[in-house]
Chains A and B, each alone.
Chain A
Amino acid sequence: MFWSSITRKTTAVSALTGLLLISACGNVTTGGNGNNGDDNGEDYPTQAIRLTVGQDAGGSTDLIARAVANGSQGVWGVPMTVENQPGANGAIATQEVANRNPDGYELVLLNASLITITSMVVPESEQVTLDDLDIIAGLSQDDYILIANADSELDTLDDMLNADRTIDFGTTGVGTAAQLAMLVLIAETGIDGNEVPFDSGSPALTAVMGNQVEVATVQVGEAMPQIEAGTVKPILLFSDDRIDYLPDVPTAVEEGYDVPVSQYRALAMPAGAPDHVLETLEEGLQEIFATEDYQQFNEDNFLTPHEISGEQVREEWTDLAEHYAQLVDEHGINLGGDN
């Protein structure tokens, strides 16, 4: 019995050590491949690709990463493993991947907000730029929606404008896209609002359902089940155009306010990858986009495909960053932080 317990314990330990070793070996061979990648270039990919995600497992960014990874085996013939390295809205993970070998075996899933919004809040040392990355392609667009408690007398933006009282509104925390959207809207419309920041989308949504705050801006995917159930009312979208999932909800832009805020996501890798690697990945991604599984995934999670080229992603995000900085400046908005 004594030995059996020891063996059990050590079996567990060695199993785990084994796992770690495997992943460590993965790194080593990855490095090797990168060095002579040019010689046998046609062979890429020959081994598992690692996709690093800077957000927690189970969140929408992570789910998108896993949906892409799911198609890897069918398209490239190798598995893609998703590794979560949460921290600082993905800044840590992105910086780390940017410093890895550009051999095509190290990818990272990018959130636009890290580039366009977080950079306005954090000190310069923490800012992440697109300079060190090659962007493979844009993936999808995740929209923000202003919702109100079902019992609230506010049904439309006009109701909010005419409310003639202070409206408590929840945000998803300092330096988030949803907070930016809300604050710019308040500034442009002159609504008398009282901001209550929550840690993320889910507590903000819960607060609206429980009438702790009257309205809040959250991601469409989070709000949809509640909208369908009638526990919250959709008021306004912050996307450029109306979306298929909620065709009757107007956008801020069409109401005449300059608040185009969405979350975009893209797939990237360290800068300097060989052309054929980039091409292989680009072509493969298009194939994944075309699969029924992936399209169904987007639909189930209320994501609008925004499958643009890496160059377009770079342009769009750079423009957005400038636009947001200008809006924040113009309205004297404080997103928090020293910068």
Chain B
Amino acid sequence: MDFAPVIEGFEVVLQPQNFLFCIIGVLVGMVIGVLPGLGPAATIAILLPMTYGMEPVTAIIMLAGIFYGAIYGGTVTAVLLKLPGETSSAITALDGYPMGQKGQAGKALGIGAIASFIGGTIAIIALTFVAPIIAGWALRFGPPEYAALTLLGILLVATISNGTMLKALVAAALGLLFAVVGRDAFTGELRYTAGNLELSDGLQFVPIAMGVFGLAEILYNLEKRHLAQPKPIKVDKVLPNKADLKQSAGPIARGGVLGFFLGILPGGGATVSSMVSYGMEKRLSKDPKRFGKGAIEGVAGPETANNAAATSSFIPLLTLGIPANATMAVMFGALMIQGIAPGPQLVDTNPELFWGVVNSMYIGNLILIILAIPLIGLFVRILYVRSTILAPITLLIVCMGAFTISNRFFEVMVVIVFGVLGYLMKKFGFDPAPLVLAFVLGSLLEDNFRRSLMMFQGDVSRVSERPITLTLLSVFVLVLILPLVFKIVAHRKGADSLLDVVAGETTQQDSSQENTAESRSHHTETEEKDTAATASGEPQKKPPAKPDR
């Protein structure tokens, strides 16, 4: 390929004014992204008017900077206050928040920043070299492929909860039910809206996540304070050390590659990436019980995947003219305002814009990590604030964040209702994570499955015409069966009676996924002894001896 335009792109970015706006963008994005409810899409939309008077390249560079900054800002609130601003940071909250409660907020935020940087960089390098080649590949992802991918995602996150299987299933079923609310996308029928116009577009992710995670946490802590005076959280100012980095290296590498590929897919891909990464790390982990209690891999993997996906989601926009998600749709609008129609010809007609944006990503990511690391020390001090002060302020921010979603009070009500629901769930031992994840994946699966059936005119066997779908479904089956195979192998090595294994296997084959997961949790019980130390939060120098497999 011809590298001259790439180099010229760097010259564009390093022009003082473009460089300056890149920094401003990252900083503003980070500050605004810290406010929950204001995800990257909303932040960019709000700041869009600032770009009217700018050169197109400068404008898009600044907006891209806001984008990266806002994504990292969401991580900060997810870790410190359990307030996820978007789908990907909801995953970060699962382990990031427990880390913060154990005094390791600095570690969580540090690894988040490092993971973001590496994820972004992996994706940019890949983008620079292969963007035009793989962009066309993304187009082959139609509804059947999305349905299969989502199915795989659901399988991977099915084990995301640490509570009992039954309670996790109840929470997931609730999530699926909430996803159903609103106008049916295929028949126009209104479902469970109770005649309320506000509900006709369905419930939104952000208010639900802010409710069952953030608000529920505030309510629950309030109750705890009445029962016993809480001891203040000890906040270690430590950043991730060598051992942490070593532990995170695998998740970061896997998350980066995963995020890059899923991010390219127009629609849904980036949403699933952090979840798939989390599910994958938990499955690969030697002691999955640690997840949900502050496992650093549970922050590192999804954060990398999330940032890699965010970066690679620029590929369909810049090379095909397709906005891959809500944020890219706003970017599309910003380019249209500048009189530039993003499309397949952009790289030929506006090479300085194309490469300027791509190269601004290198700089933007670098600026992000340079700004983020020193600020961590500042951010974690939020945890020093007494909850009598912090809780009301957080509540206020939550309500404002919810209001800004659509400038209506309705979303604030949704946050409150789901906050109460989340509090009750927590009180009765239900983990809200399956609810939130089922909500996201459920509607993706329903829409794409039904759309696929319409494409196939009801003939499911036509799935044989779609190699990608078949491959994904094969992976699905493999992920389902492999743990069983491993189990057999483990039993053989353990010189267990072969008969027992075979008998156990046949019963499992008869029943479905549920049984598999149960057997898995049974399997992990044997490891519980080893993981107890980790779960109680003691820093570990070396992983415990592997159980004999």
Contact = CB atoms under 8 A, between A and B. Distances in A.
Interface of A: 1-2, 4-6, 8-10, 12-13, 16-17, 20, 56-59, 62-63, 66, 70, 83-88, 91-92, 95, 121-123, 125-126, 166, 168, 173-175, 194-199, 202-203, 205-207, 209-213, 221, 224-226, 228-229, 231, 296, 300-301, 335-338
Given A202-B322, A226-B321, A338-B189, A63 B337 contact: yes
The number of chain B residues touching the other chain, given as a range, is 35 or more
Interface in B315-371: 320-323, 326, 329-334, 336-337, 339, 341-345
B461 interface: no
B267 to A, nearest CB: 6
Contact of A59 (B48, B333, B403, B457): B333
A84 B92 CA distance: 29
Nearest to B321: A225
A65 B5 CA distance: 36
A300 B336 contact: yes
Contacts of A211: 139
Given A87-B200, A88-B198, A206-B320, 19 more contacts: A2-B384, A4-B378, A5-B378, A16-B397, A20-B400, A20-B403, A57-B45, A58-B45, A85-B408, A87-B406, A88-B197, A125-B197, A196-B454, A197-B454, A199-B185, A224-B341, A228-B345, A337-B187, A337-B188
Contacts of B345: 225, 228-229
B266 interface: yes
Contacts of A95: 197
B549 interface: no
Given A5-B378, A206-B267, A213-B455, A197 B142 contact: no
Given A20-B400, A196-B455, A225-B342, A66 B195 contact: no
B414 to A, nearest CB: 12
A337 B45 contact: no
A94 B35 CA distance: 28
Nearest to A121: B188
Contacts of B143: 196, 207, 212
B225 interface: no
Nearest to A62: B333
Given A13-B396, A85-B408, A231-B344, A197 B31 contact: no
A16 B400 contact: yes
Contact of B188 (A83, A210, A336): A336
Lowest 8 CB-CB distances: which A-B pairs, in order?
A336-B188, A225-B343, A58-B333, A210-B139, A57-B45, A212-B142, A337-B188, A58-B330
A81 B166 CA distance: 50
- Of listed B141, B187, B407, residue having the most chain A CB within 10 A: B407
Contact of A205 (B201, B322, B378, B451): B322
B329 A198 contact: no
Contacts of B332: 58
22 contacts: A9-B393, A12-B35, A20-B400, A56-B326, A58-B332, A58-B333, A85-B406, A92-B408, A194-B454, A196-B143, A196-B455, A197-B185, A199-B447, A206-B267, A207-B143, A211-B139, A212-B455, A228-B345, A300-B339, A336-B186, A337-B183, A338-B190
B401 to A, nearest CB: 9
A173 B344 contact: no
A213 B139 CA distance: 12
B142 A202 contact: no
Contact of A196 (B200, B397, B451): B451
Contacts of A66: 48-49, 337
A166 B462 CA distance: 15
A13 to B, nearest CB: 6
Contact of A336 (B189, B329, B379): B189
Contacts of B343: 225-226, 228-229
Contacts of A83: 407
B339 A197 contact: no
B382 interface: yes
A9 to B, nearest CB: 6
A86 to B, nearest CB: 5
Nearest to B342: A225
B416 to A, nearest CB: 18
A195 B185 CA distance: 13
A301 B333 CA distance: 10
B35 A123 contact: no
Nearest to A199: B185
B455 A202 contact: no
Contacts of A175: 188
B7 interface: no
Given A91-B197, A225-B321, A225-B342, A168 B455 contact: yes
Contacts of B320: 206, 209, 231
A301 B382 CA distance: 46
B65 to A, nearest CB: 18
B198 A87 contact: yes
Given A88-B200, A206-B267, A210-B142, A123 B48 contact: no
Contacts of A4: 378
A62 to B, nearest CB: 7
Given A166-B457, A228-B343, A228-B345, A58 B200 contact: no
Contact of B322 (A194, A206, A336): A206
Contacts of A62: 333
A57 B333 contact: yes
A206 B266 contact: yes
B427 interface: no
B430 to A, nearest CB: 30
Contact of B185 (A13, A173, A210, A224): A173
B382 A9 contact: yes
